[in-house]
Amino acid sequence: MNKNKAKLKVIPLGGLEQIGMNITVFEYEEDIIVVDCGIAFPEDEMLGIDLVIPDVEYLKMNQHKVRGIVLTHGHEDHIGALPYVLKQLNVPVYGTRLTIGLVENKLREHKILNDVDRTVITPGQKIKLGCFNVEFIRTNHSIPDPVALALHTPAGTVIHTGDFKVDFTPIYGKPIDLQKFGELGKKGVLLLMADSTNAERPGFTKTESSVGRAFDDLFSNFKGKRIIVATFASNVDRVQQIIHAAGKYKRKVLVEGRSMKNVVATAIELGYIKMPKKMMITFEELDQYKDGQVVIITTGSQGEPMAALSRMAYDNHRHIQIHKDDKIIFSSKPIPGNEKSVSRVINTLFAKGAEVIFEDTHVSGHAYQEELKLIHTLVKPKYFVPIHGEYKHMKKHAELAENLGMKSDKITILSPGDVFELNNKEASKTGRINSQPIFVDGLGVGDVGSIVLRDRQKLSQDGLMTVVLTISKETRQVVAGPDIVSRGFVYVRESGDLMGEAREVVVKALDQCNNRNIRDWGKIKMAVRDALRDYLWIKTKRNPMILPVIMEV
Amino acid sequence: MNKNKAKLKVIPLGGLEQIGMNITVFEYEEDIIVVDCGIAFPEDEMLGIDLVIPDVEYLKMNQHKVRGIVLTHGHEDHIGALPYVLKQLNVPVYGTRLTIGLVENKLREHKILNDVDRTVITPGQKIKLGCFNVEFIRTNHSIPDPVALALHTPAGTVIHTGDFKVDFTPIYGKPIDLQKFGELGKKGVLLLMADSTNAERPGFTKTESSVGRAFDDLFSNFKGKRIIVATFASNVDRVQQIIHAAGKYKRKVLVEGRSMKNVVATAIELGYIKMPKKMMITFEELDQYKDGQVVIITTGSQGEPMAALSRMAYDNHRHIQIHKDDKIIFSSKPIPGNEKSVSRVINTLFAKGAEVIFEDTHVSGHAYQEELKLIHTLVKPKYFVPIHGEYKHMKKHAELAENLGMKSDKITILSPGDVFELNNKEASKTGRINSQPIFVDGLGVGDVGSIVLRDRQKLSQDGLMTVVLTISKETRQVVAGPDIVSRGFVYVRESGDLMGEAREVVVKALDQCNNRNIRDWGKIKMAVRDALRDYLWIKTKRNPMILPVIMEV
């Protein structure tokens, strides 16, 4: 086989048409590498689901080819599914120091730390994975140590930006390595895959440093008052800036919320957050300080009901109560879908007499249009695939590339499971593989599917009614019951008539079965269910799940 | 009793700290009038609930005093609860012509049209209801014929703005009667109650007419392509402007969606929408026209899954499919909480090759900060109560009033159920009445309460498991079962082992009861439930509802 004629396959298993669950397969002949391995958070209709992970059946089928998983940064939607996937497919993992540090926390929790081969890489470094030469390029994002990837393959070079922004004055580390993008572009790039999250937003993102100036202003205004800042646990640079402000204004720092404590501990240990040891205090020490001497950094910026800030707002926090003049800063923006729960927390805090501030203390970690144009212009790829975003974002990103002069036939919007094959001559979708996301619920991985969810949906709307009766094997007569138990349907104590009549409807349905000599349990159950459903619909215009159980003695 | 010493009571039964369910009671000695009577839409956690209505127990207890219900405009959150309330309390209803027209549609649906005394009033008119002289003042809003109210009472004059904006160039009718606000202010106003919805937004709302110019541009650009516009059914002026543009660009109009058809029919009948008869077409006629000759006006601008536009997007519409180059205009803004479902519809439309436009074709119907300042300055009230909005909006509105020079002790933020008493000398909260909102689910009004909702919540997360067994009365031995039926918990066909073991756990729990001579059914059920719950938690980290049913033969 002539190597130059072979094609590179690009197969996203997630991360497109959705926010989260980023994972992409790159395959060239006998070698596969995987970029990122993230989770998605469940949609509203995925009732009871804890998180969503990608289906890696394709990788398991090709296990002998898989050379490793390469990570772009340490956010949940890029590393969160690793423990689940590594349990099915134990391959080496590569990432920068903070990324691997956060991965190790996860592997430890899942008790597989010692089974997994981890390699810390440095931006600028190159590693060889099969026929892939993987080059790590420094970028900026809302977590330190993010990288883009240049995948040098026999078919050509692919640049995968990961999540990125252009920040000329970042907090930790240096600005994105624009020179490298330019150099690679000059040499010739086959394919660019770039972050589309903010493709709808004109202009340039603000630098993370601007948030530091906003904090400085606020801390200077809020002398004598307690300050509580809610932000994303993973936003290590943000936390660092709050600590800077705290230092300047002589405040002690209390860190609250499970994920915030974990990430901050890891970041301090690895040197990504610098703070004097005696600056950090615990709940026990809190009482020793006046309100004006403290800042609390907490989770809960998305209004999550169980997060620390929500528990403070709703008086469910064991150690911290909201004080009348507390200044509460939301250093975050609601993720789509969370607007309402965030509003609810804000209203509750206001009603307690606290002041809530939610302006100027957040910047996005994803490139806006002008930054995207910059990357496109530096890289000048032959082909372009927008990634990371809903369909509307990828569509907008495709338009942006066209406006920069790219031909529309060189741009492809992919769906999860699409097999996209390309070389220097051509590029096209050539097939599909299965990529149905897998639901994690408690310890169960994949045991909740569409049938279970449909049942939960039905139960959530109108509840259920169980009808139980015992029939004699010999006489075929009902010897006990029917008993009716309902939950989530009506308040039974105030619905005696309805339940009594429902029982009569069941008895009548059973009589009719008897008269017509129906002996088949399945048919009897169906007759009971139909009769009861019709009766309840007429009486209540509700449609509870009906569960008939027949026992034989 | 000296009349001048009596106080006016103001009791909001809803509409504060929430969006929707606007209803306020005004009581002076032996007279009560009610302003508005709206519904709220259910929050996410109100599973299976169709709508939420106010508790009017206080009005029923004081039925002999109630002189009537006065309506400010025809939106659901101001008139939607009328049929439910009038069934409990049949009192006269007053409103402008369009408002009463929309009320009549509702009363007809509930088959109580002939039982209700309706009076159409004209802006500028005054009516006497007991000791209240009610004056109707023309305003502007996102539905025609809105009014503010001046309630002239023995304790002084109250101005209640309803929902309003200031529009100098409205589509139907005239600008808000600012002169009247000024005249009343000059004479002296005791209390202003004003719309807080947009108190966080600086500046002035745009005029509704600006949307007409945007439509004109879009229609002129989209020649040859089909145009679909999604907007609120009640936004009659918006529909009128779409019809104007359709007329100018020679397009036929198809109106789709149940509520859209109802409102448009009423608006045409009453003269609020003007259109040539032959302009309107039906599904049957649609095929006779090319894409460029048609505009479809539809519901679904909030991404509601069952609304017409969503059905088109998801290929569930019986008559209309989305065409590749359709131009779909969202003439609306997502209501908080609907952002995600709107995004989903937009993504689906984009993926079908349609173009989606959601800029510049919507203006708000609620006053921004500069408009609020204008009203405050014209009215110059002695006391101020912000209404209509979440807590954060009312708080912001209170700050705005303070910034205009009002003393903070003259401003009161109320909660639903607060009794606020005032006269020319003083104003204060003096008590509370019960105002728990009532849930409507199907035909049931108030039969779903917190227990039923808690059960639905639990069922929605982890499903249920029913355990049924039959015990002999004589021997106390199990003669049939235990049978286990589960729904929404695990996919049973693939969980044979789990279900088998669960059955053994139940048998063991029963044996233990037997050994310890436990005869009480309640105790036996509890033992079964506890054993099963522990087993399932260890095995699955899930917590389904467990329903043990024991029968005796």
> Concatenated DSSP letters for A505-516?
HHHHHHHHHHHT
Q: If pLDDT is split at 50, 70 and 90, which confidence band does A2 have?
A: very low
What is the model's pLDDT at position A520? 83
- What is the average per-residue pLDDT within A180-207? 97
| Chain A contacts in chain B segment 442-461 (CB below 8 A) | 442-444, 447-449, 451-453, 455-461
Number of Cβ within 10 Å of residue A248's Cβ equals 12
What mean pLDDT value characterizes chain B?
Answer: 94
Supply the pLDDT for residue A518: 84
CA distances from A388 to A18, A86, A162, A207, A342 (A): 8, 23, 8, 21, 24
More confident residue, A492 or B315: B315
Q: Taking Cα atoms as reference points, which of A468, A466, A475, A478 lies closest to residue A510?
A: A478
pLDDT at residue A131 greater than cutoff 90: yes
First-last CA distance in chain A: 72
Say whether B456 and A451 touch across the interface (CB within 8 A).
no
CA distances from A209 to A169, A230, B171 (A): 6, 18, 47
Task: Tally C-beta pairs within 8 A across A and B.
Answer: 197
* Interface contact A452-B489, CB threshold 8 A: yes
Split at pLDDT 50, 70, 90, the class of B4 is: low
- Among the listed residues A332, A362, A369, A367, the one whose alpha carbon sits nearest the alpha carbon of residue A210: A362
Query: CB distance from A549 to chain B under 8 Å?
Result: yes
Element (H, E) at B77: helix B76-79
Chain A residues 458-477 with CB within 8 Å of chain B: 458-464, 466, 468-470
Q: Find all residues with CB under 8 Å of B449, minimum gap 6, and list them.
A: A491, B439
Question: The tokens of B70 are what?
Answer: 């006065």
User: Could you give the angle at the alpha carbon of B534 between the alpha carbons of B529 and B537, nearest 5°?
Assistant: 120
Q: Is a pLDDT exceeding 80 seen at residue A133? A: yes
Q: What is the DSSP string of A397-424?
A: HHHHHHHTT--GGGB----TTEEEEE-S
Q: Say whether pLDDT at A1 is over 70.
A: no
Two tokens at A441?
């619920």
Q: Which DSSP category does A409 fall into? A: G
Determine the Cα angle at A80 with ends A163 and A411, to 5°: 35
Q: Does A350 touch chain B (CB under 8 A)?
A: yes
The answer to whether the beta carbons of residues B191 and B158 sit under 8 Å apart is yes
Least CA distance to B50: which residue of chain A? A461
Read off the pLDDT of residues A529-545 as tens digits, 9 standing for 90 and up.
Answer: 999 999 999 999 999 99
Instruction: Assess whether A177 carries a catalytic annotation.
Output: no
Partner-chain contact A448 B490, CB within 8 Å: yes
Per the annotation, the verdict on B366 as an active-site residue is: yes
d(C-alpha B126, C-alpha A355), whole Å:
43
For residue A463, list chain B residues with Cβ-Cβ distance below 8 A. Answer: 48, 452, 455-456, 459
Q: With contact defined as beta carbons under 8 Å apart, do A46 and A18 qualify?
A: no
Residue tagged 């404590």 (tokens): A261
3 state SS of A49: coil
Distance CA A196, CA A164 (A): 10
Q: What mean pLDDT do residues A25-32 have?
A: 98
- Residue A518: phi, psi to the nearest 5? -80, 120
Cα separation, B262 vs B320, whole angstroms: 19
481-520 in chain A: CB under 8 A from chain B? 481, 483, 485, 487-491, 494-495
Percent of chain B with pLDDT over 90: 86
**Which structure tokens are listed for B123?**
């802006």
- Over residues A306-320, the mean pLDDT reads 95
Does pLDDT of B159 surpass 80?
yes
Burial of A355 (0-12, 13-18, 19+ CB in 10 A): middle
Report the C-alpha gap between A504 and A220 in whole angstroms: 73
At residue B412, the pLDDT reads 97
Tally of helices (H runs) and strands (E runs) in chain B: 16, 25
- B342 closest CA partner among B366, B315, B307: B307
Q: Which two tokens stand for residue B33?
A: 């009038």
| B324 close contact with A: CB closer than 8 A | no
DSSP strand pairing (A545-552 vs B156-160): unpaired
pLDDT, position A421:
98
pLDDT of residue A233: 93
> Which is higher by pLDDT, A133 or A337?
A133
- The structure tokens 């006016």 sit at B8
Chain B residues within 8 A of A449 when measuring between CB atoms: 491
Query: H/E element holding B384?
Result: strand B383-387
Query: Which of A441, A448, A466 minimises the CB distance to B547?
Result: A466
pLDDT level of residue A4 (50, 70, 90 thresholds): low
Residues A40-69 pLDDT 10s: 999 888 999 999 999 999 999 999 999 999
pLDDT-derived band at B372, boundaries 50, 70, 90? very high
User: Which tens digits make up the pLDDT trace of A405-457?
Assistant: 999 999 999 999 999 999 999 999 999 999 899 999 999 998 888 899 999 99
Tell me, yes or no, if A109 comes closer than 8 A to chain B by beta carbon: no
Kindly list the residues from chain B whose CB atom is less than 8 angstroms away from the CB atom of residue A336.
Answer: 339-340, 343
Q: Place B430 in a pLDDT band, splitting at 50, 70 and 90.
A: very high
Q: Please tell me if residue B539 touches chain A, with a CB cutoff of 8 Å.
A: yes
Q: Test A460 with B456 for CB contact under 8 angstroms.
A: yes
Q: How far is A233 from chain B (nearest CA, A)?
A: 23
Cβ atoms within 10 Å of B250's Cβ, excluding its own: 11
What is the amino acid identity at position A516? R
What φ, ψ does residue B287 adopt, rounded to 5°?
Answer: -65, -20
Residues A138, A117: contact at Cβ < 8 Å?
no
Contact A440, A466 (CB under 8 A): no
Q: What is the mean pLDDT of residues A334-343?
A: 90
Convert the pLDDT of each residue in A379-402 to its tens digit. 999 999 999 999 999 999 999 999
pLDDT digits (tens, 9 = 90+) for B434-461: 989 999 999 999 889 889 999 999 999 9
| Nearest chain B alpha carbon to A337 | B340
Sorting pLDDT into bands at 50, 70 and 90, what band is A480? confident
Closest approach of A132 to chain B, Cα-based (Å): 33
